[in-house]
Amino acid sequence: MKLAFSTLGVPGMAMRDVVRLAADSGYHGVELRAHPEEPVHPGIGGGERAQVVGEFAGGGVEILCVAGYARVAAAGPDEPVLAELGELVRLAHDLGAPNVRVFPGGGDQGTAEADATAARRLATAAPQAAELGVRLLLETHDSHPAGADAARVLGPVGHGSVGALWDVMRTWLAGEDPAASYAALAPQLGYVQVKDIASADDTTPLPLGAGVLPLTECVELLSREGWDGWLCWEYEKRWYPQAPELPGLLAPGREHLLRLLADAA
């Protein structure tokens, strides 16, 4: 498996510094948080996009995903959401990123309505994503935190350019066993976000292995099933400014994941 980390853990950091940090810490790739407060987002121009591509290529680091904030199950008309998806897909294509992360965002809608809305929008956006060589990944999050929730949306879409992003914290908080999460997501699984927290009541990010999330079980499961994708450490520093800085934790975190992988082999 390849290892990555999310720029959510280093908010606002310049891309050249992100690349250097990844290379120096032994990570293969980076998940780029695509938000206007970050250096990379759909509003940047062609020159800036080309510069980002050059920096990552020069450092030998891959861009795993453009982590967008489109909410595909949100109430309201389809057009603004589809336009946002299109912008994210074009950004990912220009950066050479194979994936775009999207959220459900179903809010207080009924389950059937939210599922149908998300499936319709993802199915509509899928052909453009396929044409540009990008995959839309629905994260287990907010209104659809469990693997079973995401699977209800992805099943009706049935398109190879639409898949799942497994956030192990969200499925655990939803009370879903890792084996059940994997079984639900495996047919469309894009990659896995790992993290650690103190408890269900305290989700302040911790160094990998210092909290309660079932990382050992998840890695063993993935290895046993022969899954050979990406593990991406999403350290939510942006939302928890009191948390320790990520750069000093990256190398120990990599070593922890490598130990889990070795033990699972």
pLDDT tens digit string along 84-123? 999 999 999 999 999 999 999 999 999 999 999 999 999 9
For residue 107, the model assigns a pLDDT of 95
Q: How many domains does the chain have?
A: 1
For residue 265, the model assigns a pLDDT of 85
Is residue 173 pLDDT above 90, yes or no?
A: yes
Question: In this structure, what CATH number is given to the domain that contains residue 216?
Answer: 3.20.20.150
Parent domain of 131: 2-264
pLDDT > 90 fraction of the chain, expressed in percent and rounded: 100
Distance CA 127, CA 47 (A): 27
Q: How confident is the model at residue 45 (pLDDT cuts 50, 70, 90)?
A: very high
Closest CA to 166 of 106, 117, 123, 227: 227
Q: How confident is the model at residue 254 (pLDDT cuts 50, 70, 90)?
A: very high
Is residue 59 pLDDT above 90, yes or no?
A: yes
| Integer Rg of the chain from CA | 17
Distance CA 224, CA 265 (A): 8
